[in-house]
Amino acid sequence: MTAALRTKQLRKSFGALQVAKDINFSLDQGARHALIGPNGAGKSTFVNLLSGTLKPTGGKVYIGDVDVTNASPASRVNRGLARTFQINSLFNQMTVTENVALAVSARLKSDGGLWRNPVRQPELQREVDRLLDMVDLTSVATKRISEISYGQRRLVEIALALALKPSVLLLDEPAAGLPKSSSERLLELLVRLPRETAILIIDHDMDIVFGFADTVTVMFQGGILVEGKSGEIKSNALVREVYLGNARHA
């Protein structure tokens, strides 16, 4: 089976500081995978190399079989690699439905080329309803972004990313800043997301990580320390020493 996302000898240096050291990483289609590691391990750098916001010093990135090492972030999105949007990318004065509808119509247009312009209204509405249901936001569909909670905005970001029907979704600290009850709800929802999308989650919250991921990669000092099934990682002595002992909820 071709991996949904893969890197080969991926490397990044900032001057003399090597923050990604020849990383060979592979994400299976439909995977539920987590990337963890102590502060400064290089997780954000690695995710930025995957999404294309950083250019590597060496090595390759593939989405499926396609070499995207030199592709822009936008063209990686078109190839099926989505990432949660930052909150400031939402349109605050528009409703939740309108925000999601914009993302869906952008995808429907690009799926069908010029022939699909304008997008058919019932199809658009059906897809928006499906996405809002998926992230549990139907009850606030007609509210403006400025009127909903921080946690609900984070869910809108996930809906926007899913609107692209990605083969891979990168979720960078989806639970950051959420109260415990909201992060528990978020976890339930993440677990239910469709398997057509492989999900890579980067988080420090071990309840989220081990509640969500089947497999885990541990980064340390710019390299992969160890990879394996969640249960094995949780009980791995080396991982506990470098990380889990210090992490929240460990």
Ligand X SMILES: Nc1ncnc2c1ncn2[C@@H]1O[C@H](COP(=O)(O)OP(=O)(O)OP(=O)(O)O)[C@@H](O)[C@H]1O
Taking CB under 6 A as the criterion, the residue among 3, 19, 155, 162 binding ligand X is 19
Closest CA to 14 of 38, 49, 39: 49
Question: What is the DSSP code (8-state) at residue 162?
Answer: H
Q: How far apart are CA 44 and CA 170, in angstroms?
A: 11
For the record, the structure tokens of 135 come out as: 């992230």
* Nearest distance from C-beta of residue 205 to ligand X, angstroms: 12
For the record, the structure tokens of 120 come out as: 């058919």
Q: Does 83 bind ligand X (CB under 6 A)?
A: no
Q: Does 41 bind ligand X (CB under 6 A)?
A: yes
* Nearest distance from C-beta of residue 86 to ligand X, angstroms: 15
* Nearest distance from C-beta of residue 68 to ligand X, angstroms: 20
Q: Does 86 bind ligand X (CB under 6 A)?
A: no
Cis ω on the peptide bond leading into residue 118 (within 30° of 0)?
A: yes
Q: How far apart are CA 93 and CA 98, in angstroms?
A: 10
Place of tokens 């990318």: 89
Q: Does 3 bind ligand X (CB under 6 A)?
A: no
Stretch that binds ligand X, among 2-10, 35-43, 96-104, 106-114 (CB under 6 A): 35-43
Closest CA to 97 of 136, 38, 144, 147: 144
Q: Does 43 bind ligand X (CB under 6 A)?
A: yes
**Residues 196-215, interacting with ligand X (CB under 6 A):** none
> Which residue pairs from 179-182 have beta carbons closer than 8 angstroms and sit at least 24 positions apart in sequence?
179/151, 182/149, 182/151
* Nearest distance from C-beta of residue 210 to ligand X, angstroms: 17
* Nearest distance from C-beta of residue 17 to ligand X, angstroms: 6
Q: Which residues contribute to the site for ligand X (CB under 6 A)?
A: 14, 17, 19, 37, 39-45
